[in-house]
Chain A
Amino acid sequence: MFERFTDGARRIVVDAQAEARELWHHHIGTEHLLLSLLNDDGPISRTAAEHGLDRAAVRARLARTSEDPLDPEALSTLGIDLDAVRAATERTFGPGALDHAAGGRRGPRGHLPFTPSAKKALELSLRHAIRLKQKEIHEGHILLGVLHDDAFLSVRIATEAGVDVGAIRGHVDRLLTSRAA
């Protein structure tokens, strides 16, 4: 189904897997697609940020569900800067010392599966491209897909953050149609 995706759109999907892995999640969900979209420095992430949907907030929200027990956000609530601890241990014990010390426990490896919602969101991005009579699927279409269904975790996160999801959809729609014109 990725034939019509532009290079940029493909990168969003690939990066979503990296986002999931970094959180020690064993699946790629709409929340990872959203995080990946916000990571990019293009017009789509800027538009989302204008509406109050920014990467730092989404990342912080998702960090609470991270499966990595050594959670930098959790430690920061105690005033512990994990980066500083990491730097200090690496000075003494060499690069990656803190990760080697985790022993056998480590994050997910290999290919991570999409959740049914993430699959649906990607299919919806194609439907949005068709609706706008556009041949290629851009980052904007993925954002429309990811924000399409109120049941998606991505939409729940945005709504929790006080974002007007309808307003973003409208704005992205206009952005995509003006680009096509």
Chain B
Amino acid sequence: MSDGVTLAQEASSRDPAVGLRAVRALRELSERLEALQVASAREQGWSWQEIAVCLGVSRQAVHKKHGGKRRILKKED
């Protein structure tokens, strides 16, 4: 099976469809990790300003993106 997978990867390494799909998946992964980390920081009492500095964006940007979201981290209840 590993032979088949390697062959498939070699054949597809120059295929833009494969590369673009990988970029999309990476962006999705990054978005999800950001949502988790921001939610966690807020729970630990971080201000939007502090989070924004760490992410290298403006306070307004981070607040606009994550401010109105439902809680994604489950609290023990």
Contact = CB atoms under 8 A, between A and B. Distances in A.
A binds B: yes
Interface of A: 54, 56-57, 60, 64, 69-71, 74-75, 77-78, 80, 82, 85, 89, 92-94, 97-98, 100-103
Contacts of A85: 29, 33
From B5, B21, B35, B69, residue with most partner A Cβ within 10 Å: B21
Interface stretch (B11-19, B44-52, B56-64): B11-19
A64 to B, nearest CB: 7
Contacts of A92: 36, 40
A60 B6 CA distance: 11
Chain B at the A interface: SS class: helix
Nearest to A93: B36
B54 interface: no
A46 B76 CA distance: 47
Top 8 A-B residue pairs of the complex, sorted by shortest distance between their CB atoms: A101-B32, A69-B28, A74-B25, A74-B21, A74-B22, A101-B35, A71-B25, A56-B1
**B1, B8, B24, B32, most chain A CB atoms within 10 A:** B32
A100 B36 CA distance: 9
Contacts of B27: 69
A77 B17 contact: no
Contact of A54 (B4, B12, B25): B4
10 contacts: A69-B24, A75-B22, A75-B26, A77-B18, A93-B36, A93-B40, A94-B74, A97-B73, A101-B35, A101-B72
Contact of A70 (B1, B9, B19, B29): B29
Contacts of B35: 101, 103
B5 A77 contact: no
B22 A77 contact: yes
